Copies of this chain bind each other. A is one copy, B any other.
Amino acid sequence: MKIAQEELRFFTIQIFEAMGCNRQHAALAADVLLKADLRGIDSHGVARLSGYVRLWEKNRINTNPVFSIEHETFTTATLNADRSLGLISAPFGMDIAIEKAKVYGCGFTAITNSNHFGIAAYHALKALPHNMIGIAMTNASPLVAPTHSTQRMLGTNPMCYVFPAGKHKPMVVDMATSAAANGKLEIAQRKGKDVPLGWLQTKEGHDTSDPNGLKNGGSLLPLGSSLDNGSHKGFGLSGVVDVFCGVLSGANYGPWVPPFVAFLEPLANLPGQGLGHFVGAIRVDAFRKADDFKHNMDQWIDAFKNAERKSADQPIIIPGEPEFEMEEIRAIEGIPLHESVVQDLQQLAQKFSLKF
């Protein structure tokens, strides 16, 4: 089934309101989820709505948060999100970073005591209208084993960088630091299809193409997949995200990041609060004229689009390009929802006496 974004947005706002969010927060949280659905990141859109509801039911999400700045300098802030939806705390943190960047050149907010924040790109993209480079990262519940280990120690810990361009769409690098994001695995599970070797390992540490390998106690592999091909780099990158988001903010990190699924309890003796994000903004014209930068970005993009192709019918893809194209299509044609997501939303409607 396909649904117009306005309709899906209104429903999503109602669900967040039913959870106790005020209208402004509900609209913002819905906007973050809808952005994922519009951009084709189906795993991070309304498909997660019931997950947020279950965390709220477990009292792990506070829908009436009082944000507080625990520490601050000219260019930095540590924001305690008071167990808020990350969908709300991350844009707030990004606004702080942007205001600081306007005055001082750059600004960064480390966010602690938060929950999952949706797609990283939503937050980083906020920098664009200000001619700033946007940065957003988050840690996440452990699914990824470091090189040489069989233990789930890290989340898929995404990092996102957004660079403004001129005539071209901005360059948006938004990537899990694991070989494959969990969403891709879920799609393969649904279809009962094998996954490529290099995505995950069994509990014993053997390569597997079984899409249920994770469910059966295995772990995802860091970007690079094998030591030979640089999985220690993926581990390192994931560690960078974990330290910025968890250790620097005062949130949990590594194996202690609380699980997204509500049926799993957080570990005992947590070293921090909730999970963490790190967002930032850097003014382009703090380094050079924004127009000159954009002109060169256009040239960069043109050069890569025109690079020699491996096969004539497969163009080189600029990071972020497919998502912008998808956004234009789905804004007009509506958002396709998988049958299981429709059922999920119908159950939510029933729970809150809403219509879907």
* Nearest B-chain residue to A253, judged by Cβ: B300
- Give chain A interface residues in 228-256, CB to chain B under 8 Å: 228-230, 232-237, 239-240, 242-243, 246-250, 253-255
A309 at the interface (CB under 8 A from B): yes
A266 at the interface (CB under 8 A from B): no
Kindly list chain B residues whose C-beta atoms are within 8 Å of the C-beta of A284.
Answer: 248
- Give chain A interface residues in 109-159, CB to chain B under 8 Å: 110, 133, 145-151, 153
User: In the assembled complex, how far is the CB of residue A77 from the closest CB belonging to chain B, in whole angstroms?
Assistant: 8
Kindly list chain B residues whose C-beta atoms are within 8 Å of the C-beta of A283.
Answer: 73, 76
A64 at the interface (CB under 8 A from B): no
Query: How many monomers of this chain does the complex have?
Result: 2
A308 at the interface (CB under 8 A from B): yes
Q: How many chain A residues touch the partner (CB < 8 A)? A: 86
* Nearest B-chain residue to A219, judged by Cβ: B308
A223 at the interface (CB under 8 A from B): yes
B316/A224 in contact, CB under 8 A? no
A105/B76 in contact, CB under 8 A? yes
A198 at the interface (CB under 8 A from B): yes
A308/B149 in contact, CB under 8 A? yes
A binding-site residues for B, Cβ under 8 Å? 70-71, 73-76, 78, 103-106, 108, 110, 133, 145-151, 153, 161, 163, 171, 173, 175-177, 179-180, 196, 198-199, 205, 223-226, 228-230, 232-237, 239-240, 242-243, 246-250, 253-255, 271-272, 282-284, 286-288, 292-293, 296-297, 299-300, 303-304, 307-311, 314-317, 319
